[in-house]
Amino acid sequence: MRSVFINIGPLVSFRKSSAPSLENSVEPSGLGIVVEEGEIKTIKDSQELIDEYSIPEGRHSLIGETACFDLEGHAVVPGLIDGHTHLLWAGDRSKEVSWRREGKSYAEIASLGGGIQYTVQQTREANDEALHLLGYQRLREALRTGTTHLEAKSGYGLNVESELRLLEVAERLNNNAHTPTIDHTWMGAHDIPRGQNVDSYVDELVSEQLPAIVEQNIARSADVFCEPGWFSVEQSETVLQASRNEGLALRMHVDEFADGGGGALAADLGVETADHAYHTPMDVRLKMKESGVNTGFLPGTPYAMGDAWPNMDEIVDESIPFTLASDFNPNCRTLSLPFMCSLMVQRCGMHPLQAVAAVSVNAARTTPHPSGMPHGIIAEGAAANFNIVDGVHWESMVLQPSSSPFSATVLNGQFASH
């Protein structure tokens, strides 16, 4: 089966250079795309495709095995990639918003029985079917706002059995026709389970959880919450080094509430991505850049928690490599990358192309597609994942935070209903 898309409006392809600029990333109206077997085969002038396939006038036509779609000048952008989600958890922590308004900090809420520990208890009590359904609904919601691939962390299990179960349920949700594909991360080091001390838990992570994860070959990466009050720099390094020795890629949560040295460790280890990083000092950001470490900014967290925004102007001026992701979790309950882009563009002064690049071409570097195909770009040989904007300007995808800016998403070469 072949699909041909003609009369595309502005095409944000990112196919011409690794350093996105308006000149080299957005191609003028009039191109067409041919897709076969989940792969973009050809991008060329729409009229040439109309002649080649003898496409009649009309929005849709089927010519033998070739389905043709006239996009009538609508803009097209790559399938979006969410490089940081806590996809699977059960329970509801809505009451914490009242506690926060009463002045309680994240750490105080945790000590009152809320926070990650509460979600761990609720998640352990949920059965596999309930978790699978929650995951499926969340993936469908992510697709609705244009996400075609996302990273999903475990981390609400905090013991061998529960962490494995979260990764197994996530794997069952992977590679379905109507949901984004998944890049799996083990995050046993998300918190210290109740009744255990941090040193004995670090031992458990390295000597029990990690070997079980590796034996089942069920995660590509490991992640650690490196933050004062959770895992120290030394403890984080122990878990990350052991994970690297077992062949896992490394990700980190760093400097979310304070500069606790997490960014510096990320630079020393050369991890793939160090996320949050709101309090990372500029000299450390520059070291991270030198070591090839991506920064994953998660604007939904300060949005949800009322914390300070990072100064994005400095970061852009210093060419710090960064992505944007949702950090979907019990406090930050949105999977919408267009919303993240809107926050950055409409509240932090970011250029819209920079925001779109941060959830597509840049995110592909830290969150590869399971097929090994390039994605986050629209190019010949890339995965056929792209979004048809509900309008003729690609910029409108960063200006519609409350609804999906896309009229359709092509996932693995097929129209996926929203």
Phi, psi for 254 (deg, rounded to 5): -135, 150
* Non-local CB neighbours of 198 within 8 Å, separated by 6+ positions: 192, 231, 232, 235
Determine which residue in the list 115, 352, 374, 413 makes contact with ligand NIG, applying CB under 6 A.
115
User: Is 327 near Fe ion (CB under 5 A)?
Assistant: yes
Closest to ligand NIG by CB, 303 vs 370, is 303
User: Is 119 near ligand NIG (CB under 6 A)?
Assistant: yes
CB of 332 to ligand NIG, least distance (A): 6
**What binding mask, one character per residue, do residues 254-293 give for ligand NIG by CB under 6 A, x or -?**
--x-------------------------------------
Closest to ligand NIG by CB, 157 vs 330, is 330
Q: Which stretch binds Fe ion (CB under 5 A): 43-51, 59-67, 321-329, 351-359?
A: 321-329
Q: Give the pair of three-digit tokens for residue 317.
A: 């001026």
User: Is 225 near ligand NIG (CB under 6 A)?
Assistant: yes
Q: Which stretch binds ligand NIG (CB under 6 A): 7-15, 133-141, 215-223, 326-334?
A: 326-334
CB of 396 to ligand NIG, least distance (A): 29
CA distance 25 to 362: 13
CB of 112 to ligand NIG, least distance (A): 13
DSSP conformation letters of 272-339: SEEEE-TT--HHHHHHHHHTT-EEEE-THHHHHHTPPPP-HHHHHHTT--EEE---BBTTB----HHH
The residue type of 238 is T
User: Is 375 near ligand NIG (CB under 6 A)?
Assistant: no
Do 93 and 118 form a contact (C-beta atoms < 8 A)? Answer: yes
> Which does residue 116 touch among Fe ion, ligand NIG, none (CB within 5 to 8 A, set by kind)?
ligand NIG
Q: How many CB atoms lie within 10 A of CB 216?
A: 12
Positive or negative, the CA dihedral 48, 51, 53, 55 is: positive
Question: Which of 223, 198, 225 minimizes the C-alpha distance to 210?
Answer: 223
CB of 253 to Fe ion, least distance (A): 5
User: Is 301 near ligand NIG (CB under 6 A)?
Assistant: yes
User: Is 325 near ligand NIG (CB under 6 A)?
Assistant: no
**What binding mask, one character per residue, do residues 86-105 give for ligand NIG by CB under 6 A, x or -?**
x-------------------
CB of 276 to Fe ion, least distance (A): 7
Going from the C-alpha of 104 to that of each of 96, 107, 112, 223, the distances in angstroms are 9, 8, 10, 27
User: Is 7 near ligand NIG (CB under 6 A)?
Assistant: no
Phi, psi for 142 (deg, rounded to 5): -65, -40
> Which does residue 395 touch among ligand NIG, Fe ion, none (CB within 5 to 8 A, set by kind)?
none
CB of 18 to Fe ion, least distance (A): 27
Q: Report the half-sphere exposure of 250 (CA within 13 A, side-chain side).
A: 27
User: Is 253 near ligand NIG (CB under 6 A)?
Assistant: yes
In the numeric block, the tokens 């000092």 are attached to 281
Closest to Fe ion by CB, 25 vs 294, is 294
Give the DSSP H or E segment for 134: helix 128-144
Do 60 and 68 form a contact (C-beta atoms < 8 A)? Answer: yes
The residues that touch ligand NIG, with contacts defined as CB under 6 A, are 86, 115-116, 119, 225, 253, 256, 301, 327, 329-331
